[in-house]
Chains A and B, each alone.
Chain A
C-alpha cells in the first residue's frame, strides 16, 4: 500500500529565511509519481510540481527547489528567501501508476511572519 508521511505538522519562519518541507513516501511500485500542492488560506489546491520515479534530477523554479532521492524515498521541498505569501499548507502526494488517484500526506502548515 502506498503512504506519504509529512512529519512536520507546522513550521514558523520569519520572512527571508529558507525553509525545507520534508516528504517521505512508501510504495511497492517501480513506476510512480510524486507531487507537491499548495493550499493557501483561501482553500484552493494549487499544483506546484510533478516528478516521476525515473527522474531523480533536482529541480529549481525561482525560489522553489525540490530534492528527490529514491535511496531514502524522500521528495523534499525548499523555499528560499520565504515570503509572507508563501504561508499555506503544503501537501506532498503520490500516485502509484499513471492515471491513478493521489494519496496525500497530512500536510505541513507553513507560517511566514514579516
Chain B
C-alpha cells in the first residue's frame, strides 16, 4: 500500500539559509499535518491542511510557512534557519473516514 512520501530524507543547511520540505500524502487522504520532533523529544504539531486550506495551527514559528497544492502535496518552507531548527520533521496524512494519521519517514534537518 502507498505510504506518505517525504523528501528529502536528509538536509543540511547553514544558519540563516532557507529550506523546503515536501510531503506527498497517501492517495485519497484529504488532510496533511506537519510535526517537528527535536532530539529525544515527542513530536510537536506545527500546522495542518484540509482540502488545501489551513485547518489548524500549532507552535509554528513565523519564519515557517506551509501550503497544500491542488494535487494535495504539501510543502513546509523554513527561512532564516537557526541552530534550534535542527530536528526531524514529519508529515502525516489522514482521511475523514478513518481519522488515523499515517506518518512519513521524516526529513532530518541539520542546521550548522
Contact = CB atoms under 8 A, between A and B. Distances in A.
Contacts of A105: 42
B106 A99 contact: no
Counting chain A CB atoms within 10 Å of each CB, the highest count among B35, B55, B99, B100 belongs to B99
Interface string A83-114: 00000000100010011111111110000000
B31 to A, nearest CB: 7
A102 B102 contact: no
A102 B88 CA distance: 16
Contacts of B99: 33, 50, 95, 98-99
Interface of A: 33, 35, 37, 43-47, 50, 91, 95, 98-107
A43 B88 contact: yes
B56 A101 contact: yes
Given A47-B100, A47-B101, A50-B99, A104 B48 contact: no
Interface in B54-112: 55-56, 58, 88, 90, 92, 94, 96, 99-106, 108
A37 B90 CA distance: 13
A57 B110 CA distance: 43
A100 B42 contact: no
A33 B98 CA distance: 11
B56 to A, nearest CB: 6
Given A99-B50, A100-B56, A43 B96 contact: no
Given A33-B99, A91-B42, A99 B31 contact: yes
A93 B108 CA distance: 22
A45 B103 contact: yes
A101 B33 contact: yes
A102 B45 contact: yes
B43 A45 contact: yes
A101 B48 contact: yes
8 contacts: A43-B88, A43-B106, A44-B103, A45-B106, A102-B35, A103-B45, A104-B42, A107-B42
Contacts of A106: 41-42
Nearest to A37: B103
